[in-house]
Amino acid sequence: MAQLSLGPGFFRPESRPARDLSVLLARHQSLNATRPLRWLDLMAGCGIRALRWGLEALANPAVETELWVNDGDPDRLPLIQANAAGLGCSNRLTAEAADLLLHRSIVERHWFDFIDLDAFGAPGPLIQPALQALRFDGLLFLASTDGRSPTGHDRPGAIRSLGAAARAHPSSWEMALRQQIGLVARQAWMLGRGLQPLFSFSEGRTFRLALRLRRQIPAGDEQKLGLVARCERCGAQRVQPLLKLSGWPACDCVAGQGRWSISGPLWIGPLQEPQLLQQLIAEAQQLGRQQISPATLRLMQRLQADPGDRPTVWPTDELVRRLGIGGPPALGPLVQALQAAGYRASASGVMPGQVRTDAELPQLLQICASLRGEGI
Which parts of this chain interact with Zn ion (CB under 5 A)? 231, 233-234, 251, 253, 258
Strand order in the sheet with 237-241: 237-241, 225-231, 260-267
Min separation Cβ 11 and ligand SAM, Å: 5
The CA–CA distances, whole Å, from 206 to 13, 38, 219, 283, 286 equal: 13, 26, 31, 25, 28
- Give SS3 for 291: coil
Min separation Cβ 98 and ligand SAM, Å: 3
Q: Is 176 left (phi over 0), alpha (psi -120 to 50) or beta?
A: alpha
| Contact positions with ligand SAM (CB under 6 A) in 232-251 | none
71 binds, among ligand SAM, Zn ion, none (CB under 5 to 8 A by kind): ligand SAM
Residue 11 makes contact with ligand SAM by CB under 6 A: yes
H helix or E strand, kind and range, residue 137 = strand 134-144
* Contact between residue 57 and residue 23 where contact means Cβ atoms under 8 Å apart: yes
CA distance 131 to 103: 11
Residue 154 makes contact with ligand SAM by CB under 6 A: no
CA distance 167 to 162: 13
Min separation Cβ 126 and ligand SAM, Å: 8
Q: Which is nearer to Zn ion, 257 or 275 (CB)?
A: 257
CA distance 70 to 67: 10
- Angle, alpha carbons 77-82-85 (nearest 5°): 120
- Give SS3 for 118: strand
Distance of CA 133 to the CA centre of its chain: 20
Considering only 48, 162, 338, 350, the residue that binds ligand SAM (CB under 6 A) is 48
Q: Which is nearer to Zn ion, 242 or 253 (CB)?
A: 253
Q: Which span (5-13, 267-275, 308-316, 317-325) binds ligand SAM, by CB under 6 A?
A: 5-13
CA distance 146 to 115: 20
Question: Taking CB under 6 A as the rule, which mask of x and - marks residues 61-80 in contact with ligand SAM?
Answer: ----------xxx-------
251 binds, among ligand SAM, Zn ion, none (CB under 5 to 8 A by kind): Zn ion
28 binds, among Zn ion, ligand SAM, none (CB under 5 to 8 A by kind): none
234 binds, among ligand SAM, Zn ion, none (CB under 5 to 8 A by kind): Zn ion
- Give SS3 for 273: coil
Question: Taking CB under 6 A as the rule, which mask of x and - marks residues 92-131 in contact with ligand SAM?
Answer: -----xx-------------------x-x-----------
337 binds, among ligand SAM, Zn ion, none (CB under 5 to 8 A by kind): none
Min separation Cβ 324 and ligand SAM, Å: 44
- Give SS3 for 86: coil
Residue 44 makes contact with ligand SAM by CB under 6 A: yes
Residue 25 makes contact with ligand SAM by CB under 6 A: no
* Contact between residue 45 and residue 71 where contact means Cβ atoms under 8 Å apart: yes
Residues in the chain: 376
Mention every residue, 6+ apart, whose C-beta is less than 8 A from residue 36: 63, 64, 65, 66
45 binds, among Zn ion, ligand SAM, none (CB under 5 to 8 A by kind): ligand SAM
The CA–CA distances, whole Å, from 350 to 9, 25, 176, 338 equal: 30, 19, 11, 19
Dihedral sign for Cα 129, 134, 135, 140, please. negative
Total interface residues for ligand SAM by CB under 6 A: 17
Q: Which is nearer to ligand SAM, 100 or 243 (CB)?
A: 100
Q: Which span (7-15, 233-241, 284-292, 364-372) binds ligand SAM, by CB under 6 A?
A: 7-15
Q: Which is nearer to ligand SAM, 19 or 167 (CB)?
A: 19
Q: Which is nearer to ligand SAM, 209 or 231 (CB)?
A: 209
Instruction: Give the footprint of ligand SAM on this chain (CB under 6 A).
Output: 9-11, 15, 19, 43-45, 48-49, 71-73, 97-98, 118, 120
